[in-house]
Structure 1
Amino acid sequence: MHDEFATAQNLLAKWRLAAACLSHIPAGRLELALVCDIDPHHERAREVASLVTAPLRIIPQLRDCRIRLCKLPDAGLQQIAQDGVFQARRIAPPPYYSPKPSARTQATLVGLPRELRLRVLEYTDLIAPDREVTWSRQDKAYLTAARGDDLDRDNVRVFYHCWTSSSSSPSYLGCFCRRRHAAFSLACKCWAPPSPLFLVCRILCEDAQFTFFSRNRFIIHDYKTSRTWALPCFPEYSDEEVEPPEDSRYEYPGTRFAASQFFREVVPTHCLAHLRFLELVFPPYLAQTWPRGDDHPVLQDWQATIGWLLDKVNAPALTLRLAGVEVHYGSPPEYHNRISKSDAIDIATAHMDLTRPLRALGDIGLARFFAYFPCLWELVLARHQHYEWRPQLEAKQRQFKASFERVVLGDRYETQYANGREEPEPSFWAKAHQRI
């Protein structure tokens, strides 16, 4: 460990010499991208990070600066990167960037009535852009995306996947996304929940958690957020670097549903009652990929998870939606192959196996429940027959949807659409998926 630090010191000495050579460059002319991926678990990680950014003080004001100090997100290292960028750009950090609100600010907020504290917190990053937060087995982190019918593909990524946007860093400079790394760049607008607000004090932490979980809609993707139609059996069209073994390509890609992991491991147990809108999204798994049978561990875990949730969620205030991703023309050709009627029935049965345990939530007064799974008979028919069968398929889709919603709501299904009430608008992933 001592040898590692000695090596780091040698590199840092060379970096200081290089920075000294840059000290004669006119202010506002140079752009600098600084990457030094540090092990966040090293006992001297913060010290090394501070030494990495210190030479920026002797360089004249930079026109632009990007700093990455770790491949993985780390709050402490990211704060050092952020301070380094502001120092290099000679920019005074805005008050809301402060990692630790002052004692006076805390006392002022805590002294307000709770209703006013909650209104104040609604103007922080606790409310995601367009009030929509996603979580997936792929990302294992909260993220969001801009939404709107007038957004082009680059603008859609303003708050999400900044490294794919033409307005972000050139690809050869590397990725400086604060959601993916301990990095900071003024070009990164990716949204992330402001963890310092969760850590200030007990009262404000509780208020922040209530604001975050009750004011946002939560979309849980069972596999991937990006390329929502991706499947583990077609890795060449996914983000996976290693192709799975042939004998496991069609297995369900996990030991539990992502929603089960979200409920039990991601959301603090005492915050489950704050949730107001949940949407569980599943890709178009093939018939042999879905977990099947009452004795399947994934379905047993799902049943147990729903039972565990019953006394923890506020069902009469919660809206739940199940959704399946449709195959579209931008997806790989394998998705467009016809499937047998037997496979279609197996997939529909798997959808029902997923839905049936949710009846327990309906029995304790779940506010509203919506379901949308693609009409599988489209894949049974030849593609050139789709248009002539469209009216029949749409009618079958409505029946299909109603059958799932009746399973969960029972006799209350009729009142769900009473008095002109409609289903909540589609989430961003669905709107973006339909545009492609």
Structure 2
Amino acid sequence: MRQRRICEYLGLTCTHLLSFLCLPPAVRHRIYCEAGLVSDADVDLNRRPDAADSWPSSDDFQLSYNLLLTCRTIYAEVSSIIYSTNRFFIRYRDSRSLQPLRNLRAPSLASLTHLTVHLNVTSCERVQPCCKVYPEKPHLGCRQHDKPLTTSSRRHQAIFLEWHSAASYITAHVRSSRLQLHFVCDVQDLEAATRAVEPLLSTPTLLADCGIRLGQQPDPALQDLARQTATRAVGGYRLDQPGSPFRFLDFPQELRCQVLEYTDLVTPLCEVEWNPEKGFYVRYSTWNCGDIWECPPALHYACQFRNCWQYSNVGCFCRRYHSAYSSKCNCWSPPTSLFLVCRALREEAQAIFFKKNRFVITPSKGCNRVADGTPPRLEVSIFLTKIVPPDALRFLRFLEVVFPPFDEDYLRPHEPAYRDWLETIDQVRDKLHLPTLTLRVYMADHSPSGQDVTPFRINMTKEQGMTIIAMYARTLGPLSKLNGMKRFFVHLAWPFAWTRSGRRGRKENPEFVKQQIATMEQRVEGLVMGNSYDSMLLEKNKQGNSQWLEASLASIRYGGEQTTF
């Protein structure tokens, strides 16, 4: 009977059976895979092989299941292949149990190479990035999120106990430096996080790799615990035996600065955006490298430093979004810790951070969304007076300020924001190192895709357009107080771009429109720098687009109408 089963599922006659078992193991392994043995797949331990929504499908699993029933020799070989070549996943929420982990036999665990355990998850994971990229547009799955675990809840204590039991069983049987373990347990506080990682701190077997997430939102204490635990689990430093401190400040200053340039003080694209809602962050104009949004070769290097969750099938362990650690996450996050070590390192870190990056100050509601009205304070005023330390203003080398499109007038002389803007200029002009500063200002246009144009823009009169041009001069004219500034570039939106005559003019005589914009920009730049100033001699058009503008232009190329900024 056993021989007949082998023959049937491997397509051999009974006379060939003994010759098959006598084949070298490597050859037999290849035959199994060619016959359809499941490999390189995500296997959910809480799903039945015949479940409609399971992966692999029931048809894919049938051959593997049949091979396991043939004989002891083939069972051992097939089982080893299955557990070593597939990625296994279990989510506690699915069956309120981790029993499938404890059901695995010791030889199977010894072959296991990839295991992901989602003990408690408070956000969308695996194939749903909405909680990270589109927090304002949750989908139906967002209603099924878990609540953070605490040590004060009896039900949560039971979850911790079951995890400890399962983890102890797994780590007792896996081979050293073979298993890649990813563990998600979103908790309420540090006490619960410590409880969650206890089995990994005492594991007798080293892991090949370990990713840990302990909270949906970034928390320095939880991130540090996740990093230390994962590092120790793979054989890194021990928490209870810290080594002697590394005396970084004993290095010469020149060497220290070179080392700091290889930290997160310098972003992958040497560009940082800031606004009051998001703080410091990095924007990438291409989101799907290799897809319809093709990544320019010059920027492809930076792809490894962004959105690591897009390339993961084990969940999100991105430190930018969560209290997590993963050796695969190189995403940029503000290097706050480097500013908190000591006063000497703080000054050197600030010098590198503000000298080596281009800083783009964007409107809180978006660069191309029409402003609801003048805010109490301009974003750039907040940045220069509240965010950048006064003694670090001298380090700024490239500052770009983006003003949002607006209807009617904006930043009127009687408004508090305008008066504050004038005070900001007076306050920082003696602190900035103006000879080395490049200041670039964008008056952004409305809706680069041409959709949802406001009635004001479509029906704009000549008088209303001149009011907008007057706002340009009124807002930027006071920058003339920055005596000694050498490089000042202005990019203005043409007020009549979306009127009926403006649309027609852009199609029939685009060169005339470009000339009108160039004339406006030249007059405003002359108002600030003097009539003899010529920004074209300073290669104004060769400064490169910032990422917010690249993103806007990309949306135009892939389905919108061309506009000018």
Taking a change above 3 Å as real, the CA distance of residues 263 and 71 of structure 1, as seen in their structure-2 partners, is farther
The offset of 1:76, in angstroms, is 2.1
Taking a change above 3 Å as real, the CA distance of residues 129 and 360 of structure 1, as seen in their structure-2 partners, is same
* 1:425 match: 544
The offset of 1:296, in angstroms, is 0.3
Counterpart AA for 1:84? T
* 1:56 match: 200
- Distance in 1 between residues matched to 2:243 and 2:524, nearest whole Å: 48
| Counterpart contact for 1:214–1:275, Cα < 8 Å | yes
Counterpart AA for 1:348? I
1:16 equivalent to 2:164? Answer yes
1:121 equivalent to 2:240? Answer no
Aligned residues: 387
- Distance in 2 between residues matched to 1:118 and 1:260, nearest whole Å: 29
How do residues 182-201 of structure 1 correspond to structure 2 at under 5 angstroms?
Answer: 182-201=323-342
* 1:206 match: 347
| Counterpart contact for 2:306–2:332, Cα < 8 Å | no
Query: How large is the RMSD of aligned CA atoms in angstroms?
Result: 3.5
* 1:84 match: 229
> For 1:324, which of 438, 443, 458 is the aligned residue?
443
1:409-429, Cα deviation, whole Å (9 max, x unpaired): 124514x44487765222232
Taking a change above 3 Å as real, the CA distance of residues 419 and 425 of structure 1, as seen in their structure-2 partners, is closer
Taking a change above 3 Å as real, the CA distance of residues 141 and 389 of structure 1, as seen in their structure-2 partners, is same
- Distance in 2 between residues matched to 1:360 and 1:136, nearest whole Å: 25
- Distance in 2 between residues matched to 1:346 and 1:127, nearest whole Å: 40
| Counterpart contact for 2:220–2:323, Cα < 8 Å | yes
Counterpart AA for 2:193? A
The offset of 1:218, in angstroms, is 0.8
Task: Report sequence identity in percent.
Answer: 29
Taking a change above 3 Å as real, the CA distance of residues 329 and 419 of structure 1, as seen in their structure-2 partners, is closer
Taking a change above 3 Å as real, the CA distance of residues 343 and 176 of structure 1, as seen in their structure-2 partners, is farther
Taking a change above 3 Å as real, the CA distance of residues 180 and 26 of structure 1, as seen in their structure-2 partners, is same
1:105 equivalent to 2:258? Answer no
1:256 equivalent to 2:398? Answer no
1:380 equivalent to 2:499? Answer yes
- Distance in 2 between residues matched to 1:331 and 1:80, nearest whole Å: 48
- Distance in 2 between residues matched to 1:129 and 1:123, nearest whole Å: 10
Taking a change above 3 Å as real, the CA distance of residues 376 and 194 of structure 1, as seen in their structure-2 partners, is same
Taking a change above 3 Å as real, the CA distance of residues 33 and 388 of structure 1, as seen in their structure-2 partners, is farther
Q: Secondary structure at the match of 1:218?
A: strand
How do residues 24-423 of structure 1 correspond to structure 2 at under 5 angstroms?
Answer: 26=174, 28=178, 32-38=182-188, 45-57=189-201, 58=203, 66-88=211-233, 90=234, 92=236, 103-109=245-251, 112=252, 114-145=253-284, 153=293, 158=303, 162=307, 166-168=310-312, 173=315, 175-224=316-365, 228-231=367-370, 250-252=372-374, 254-287=375-408, 290-291=410-411, 293-327=412-446, 330=449, 332-334=451-453, 338-341=458-461, 342-361=463-482, 364-382=483-501, 383-411=503-531, 413-414=533-534, 416-418=535-537, 423=542
Q: Secondary structure at the match of 1:188?
A: coil
- Distance in 2 between residues matched to 1:68 and 1:162, nearest whole Å: 16
Counterpart AA for 2:194? S
| Counterpart contact for 1:37–1:68, Cα < 8 Å | no
Counterpart AA for 1:360? K
- Distance in 1 between residues matched to 2:438 and 2:493, nearest whole Å: 21
The offset of 1:312, in angstroms, is 1.5
Q: Secondary structure at the match of 1:129?
A: coil
| Counterpart contact for 1:129–1:144, Cα < 8 Å | no
Relative contact order higher in (CA < 8 Å, ≥ 6 apart): 1
The offset of 1:181, in angstroms, is 2.9
Q: Secondary structure at the match of 2:399?
A: strand
Counterpart AA for 1:273? R
| Counterpart contact for 2:285–2:550, Cα < 8 Å | no
Structure 1 unaligned segments of length 5 or more: list them: 39-44, 94-99, 233-249
| Counterpart contact for 2:306–2:330, Cα < 8 Å | no
1:353-404, Cα deviation, whole Å (9 max, x unpaired): 321221211xx21121101022122222343442103121010010011122
- Distance in 1 between residues matched to 2:369 and 2:303, nearest whole Å: 22
Bigger drift between 324-333 and 210-219 goes to: 324-333
| Counterpart contact for 1:219–1:278, Cα < 8 Å | yes
Counterpart AA for 1:276? R
| Counterpart contact for 1:223–1:283, Cα < 8 Å | no
1:10-46, Cα deviation, whole Å (9 max, x unpaired): 54334323434544775656653403143xxxxxx43
- Distance in 2 between residues matched to 1:87 and 1:281, nearest whole Å: 45
- Distance in 1 between residues matched to 2:221 and 2:474, nearest whole Å: 44
- Distance in 1 between residues matched to 2:383 and 2:313, nearest whole Å: 32
| Counterpart contact for 2:213–2:323, Cα < 8 Å | yes
| Counterpart contact for 2:448–2:552, Cα < 8 Å | no
| Counterpart contact for 2:151–2:191, Cα < 8 Å | no
Q: Secondary structure at the match of 2:508?
A: coil
Structure 2 unaligned segments of length 5 or more: list them: 1-149, 556-565
The offset of 1:162, in angstroms, is 1.4
- Distance in 2 between residues matched to 1:159 and 1:134, nearest whole Å: 19
- Name the TM-score, length of structure 1 as normaliser: 0.76
The offset of 1:303, in angstroms, is 1.2
Q: Secondary structure at the match of 2:164?
A: helix
Counterpart AA for 1:70? G
The offset of 1:328, in angstroms, is 5.5
- Distance in 2 between residues matched to 1:193 and 1:343, nearest whole Å: 42
- Name the TM-score, length of structure 2 as normaliser: 0.60
The offset of 1:85, in angstroms, is 3.5
Taking a change above 3 Å as real, the CA distance of residues 129 and 420 of structure 1, as seen in their structure-2 partners, is closer
| Counterpart contact for 1:135–1:142, Cα < 8 Å | yes
Answer with 1 or 2: which has the greater Rg: 2
Taking a change above 3 Å as real, the CA distance of residues 189 and 352 of structure 1, as seen in their structure-2 partners, is farther
- Distance in 1 between residues matched to 2:385 and 2:538, nearest whole Å: 36
